[in-house]
Structure 1
Amino acid sequence: MDPADTYLLLRLGQRHVALPHIAVREVLPLPRLFRPPALPRSMAGFLNLGGAAVPVLDLARLFGLTETAEAEAALYRHVVLLKTPLLGLLVDRVFDLVRVPTVQLRPLPEALSLNGCAAAELPLQDGFAHLLAPDRILLAQEAAAVHSLQEMAQTRLAGWAEPA
């Protein structure tokens, strides 16, 4: 089977979504994030990844899902790091890696999701997961705002690395 047919399954509340495995750099247990004042609600904060400020989006909040993980379950959340752009997605849980032939995907019209971010339905044994297009999760103006915030966070991190 083609590696492009491999998908990472994620849980957001009671919903399942998926990402192409080839778009994922790594999956992290919930790391310590720093959250400067005045971040948008959909941003969980920034991850210090070897001196690089990586923006982390709370995917459930970004999508307007009202379900939230219970306090105990929130301890076990994951951050999925995308390769390009280097961006973290905070999810309730990464729970599986599946192979589904491309011919079994059910493409979705772009108009059914904001910015066409849900590209297809991925069939599962107990239903389906929406396959997300990583490059369309953010609108252009949201991506520009995140980039600007990332530059400020990077400057702040760099200031701590410089000797006084």
Structure 2
Amino acid sequence: MFRRSHPLNPAAAVSASAEAYLVLQLGARRCALSCAAVREILPLPRLWRPPGLPRPLAGFLNLSGEAVPVLDLARLFGLSAETADAEAALYRHVILASPGPQGALPGLLVDRVLDLVRVPPAGLRPLAGDASLNGCAVAELPLADGFAHLLAPERILLAQEQARLATLREAAQTRLQEWGEPS
């Protein structure tokens, strides 16, 4: 379980009013998620990938009998190298987002969780809604050596992609219930 009370970098705590953000590596780019949007961080678990899935869908995670779709964010955003080496894959994580207003969100596969930082709200630089597809990048988060794009998990997929993902998740859930966890 992700613990918000123990930052990976204690020196990053600037004040009680600062918000906590999880800094992620996606290909060569750094992105971030608000810790309020993160339910859990998992080391790369075993995923199953039925044939015919869209490329950005890494597969499904069996989470206590629930088929959770997992999006490969680097691939979805066009940031991944097709030839990822096996050693780098050891550091991949799945981020389970907190449920949004429309229910559970897919798991997010990232290349690496880098750090936990605290930034006061005034330290964020908002981005225009049209600065990213579907407005999924909402701000720039300042870091000691650059910045990270702050992502809004509920905006990562377009409405059509969300509908297609719901259909795929339903089929995976049916398979999981009928056959149990794939071997």
Query: Is TM-score (shorter-chain normalized) higher than 0.5?
Result: yes
Confirm whether residue 93 of structure 1 aligns to residue 112 of structure 2: yes
Match of 1:134 among 139, 153, 165: 153
The residue aligned with 2:67 is 53
Q: 1:2-40: CA deviations, max 9, x gaps? A: 47x110110012210000101111000000001011000
Cα offset, 1:53, TM superposition: 0.2
Q: Give the aligned CA root-mean-square deviation in angstroms.
A: 1.2
Query: 2: CA distance between counterparts of 1:131 and 1:26?
Result: 18
Checking the alignment, whether the CA contact within 8 Å between 1:29 and 1:79 is kept in structure 2 is yes
Cα offset, 1:83, TM superposition: 1.4
Match of 2:168 among 144, 149, 154: 149
* TM-score, normalised by the number of residues in structure 1: 0.94
What are the residue-to-residue correspondences of 1:1-164 with 2, within 5 Å? Answer: 1-2=16-17, 5-67=19-81, 69-84=84-99, 85-161=104-180
How many residues are aligned here? 160
Structure 2 residue ranges without an equivalent (≥5):
1-15
Checking the alignment, whether the CA contact within 8 Å between 2:26 and 2:80 is kept in structure 1 is no
Structure 1 residue ranges without an equivalent (≥5):
none
% of aligned pairs identical? 68
Query: 1: CA distance between counterparts of 2:43 and 2:70?
Result: 13
Query: 2: CA distance between counterparts of 1:102 and 1:148?
Result: 37
Query: 1: CA distance between counterparts of 2:24 and 2:17?
Result: 21
Between 1:40-49 and 1:95-104, the stretch displaced more is 95-104
Checking the alignment, whether the CA contact within 8 Å between 2:93 and 2:109 is kept in structure 1 is yes
Which letter maps to 1:48? N
Query: 1: CA distance between counterparts of 2:95 and 2:132?
Result: 21
